Amino acid sequence: MRNETFRNPPMSLPLENLAGAAAEERPGDPLMSVRNLRVSFATEDGFFPAVRGVSFDVLPGQCLGIVGESGSGKSVTSLALMGLLPPPPGTIVEGEVHFAGRDLRKLRPEEMRKLCGNEIAMIFQEPMSSLNPAFTIGDQIAEVVRTHENVPARVARARALELLQEVQIAAPERRLDEYPHRLSGGMRQRVMIAIALACRPRMLIADEPTTALDVTVQAQILELLRMLQGEYGMSIMLISHNLGVISEIADDIAVMYAGRIVEQAKAAQLFEKPEHPYTIGLLGAIPTRGKSRLVSIKGRVPDLLSLPPGCPFAPRCPFMVPEICCGTEPPLIAVEPQHSTACYRAPLDQVL
């Protein structure tokens, strides 16, 4: 198996021309296009297939929501896109990742470092631990500005103050010189957003941006992301285990299970007529007004080192038919325009 998080480009290509070497960015094209992405981790028991053939597009100015239980491959997908897999043990085994007409797997490490944080930014999980406790808030934001822009320290600090104002932190002048432990979870998350937006990226990857925050603060963070998306015109890839969170902001939704996308649709289509039993289960677990009973999904996510034959969701599926579902894993097929699912029984006429 090749150990290639991002392969080196041919040495004959000049460094300054690599960004446009693969293809030109054309109007109407997706900003990011991912095809058949496969990621494995080397373990004592063999190669663990964390991501198994994921494909999706992120359109300019749009939000793609990726949802699924813990262990479904969401965060690993985002780390692979940013070139942040730890090699070893993480390896991109196969797949194509294009951003604005550039093949990211052919960029050199120095080019990838320039791209990440500048054109593609990421908000990581756990705002409580993502900031460095040894540096002030202002220093951490200014560091990103100075890394990507040749500006003096005073200009970077002024930019840090502007960013804290944009993410609506109270008393931003005072917060610049405070350390992370002095801030609440919601304020730390706003600082993380400020850091991600420091260079006005074209795309933001937000990995569980509302984790460990109470419901009121979650709503504020999502509203802030929506506002900033409109202001900057950027694309967002929002990762969550909560379809309720995804519904607040996403234009398109991809549902992941056991390392694969099992349903993909426009947000309105998916909520109005879910096709995959797993999606139906996730929607049934969302508390809503008038719902007297929440539906639980029995069982747990399967071990990817020993997947069951056929559909990975079959052991947990209330609609499972052994002779149909336990043979070959179902492919992702279109059931209507812009709506695909990986289920042999689709379309399912079910009322939530």
In tens digits, what is the pLDDT along the chain, a chain of 352 residues? Answer: 333 333 333 333 333 333 444 456 676 789 999 999 999 999 998 999 999 999 999 999 999 999 999 989 999 999 999 999 988 899 999 999 999 999 999 999 999 988 998 999 999 887 677 899 999 999 999 999 998 888 999 999 999 999 999 999 999 999 999 999 999 989 999 999 999 999 999 999 999 988 778 888 888 999 999 999 999 999 999 999 888 889 889 999 999 999 999 999 999 999 999 999 999 999 988 887 777 787 889 988 899 999 989 999 999 999 999 999 999 999 999 999 999 999 988 655 443 3
Instruction: Specify if 20 maps to a domain.
Output: yes
**235 within a domain of the structure (yes/no):** no
Instruction: Report the phi/psi class of residue 95: left, alpha or beta, with left for phi > 0 and alpha for psi in -120 to 50.
Output: left
- Assess whether 261 and 214 both reside in one domain: no
Q: Do 16 and 93 share a structural domain?
A: yes
- My answer on whether 132 and 218 are in the same domain is yes
Q: Does residue 348 lie within any of the structural domains?
A: no
Domain around 293: 257-341
Together in a domain, 20 and 122: no
Element (H, E) at 216: helix 215-232
Residues 327 and 276 in one domain: yes
CATH code for the domain of 223: 3.40.50.300
Residues 92 and 130 in one domain: no
- C-alpha closest to that of 265 among 333, 352, 198: 333
**Residues 6 or more apart from 126 whose CB is under 8 A from it?**
211, 212
Within a domain: 240: no
CB 236 within 8 A of CB 120: no
The pLDDT of residue 86 is 85
- Whether residues 184 and 223 fall in one domain: yes
Domain membership of residue 252 (yes or no) is no
In angstroms, the Cα distances linking 296 to 280, 282, 287 are 10, 8, 11
Confirm whether 16 is domain-assigned.
yes
> Does residue 132 sit in the same domain as residue 162?
yes
Count of domains in the chain? 3
Note whether residue 239 is domain-resident: no
- What's the N-to-C CA distance of the chain in angstroms? 44
Q: Specify the 3-state DSSP secondary structure of 221.
A: helix
Residue 150 lies in a domain: yes
Rounded CA-CA distance 54/74 in Å is 10
169 and 216 in a single domain? The answer is yes
Over its C-alpha atoms, the chain yields an Rg (Å, rounded) of 21
> Same domain, yes or no, for 94 and 148?
no
Tell me what pLDDT residue 288 has: 79
Residue with tokens 């406790």: 133
Q: Are 36 and 94 in contact (CB under 8 A)?
A: yes
Same domain, 14 and 101: yes
Q: How far is CA 77 from the centre of its chain?
A: 7
What pTM was estimated for this model as a whole?
0.87
User: Are 101 and 125 members of one domain?
Assistant: no
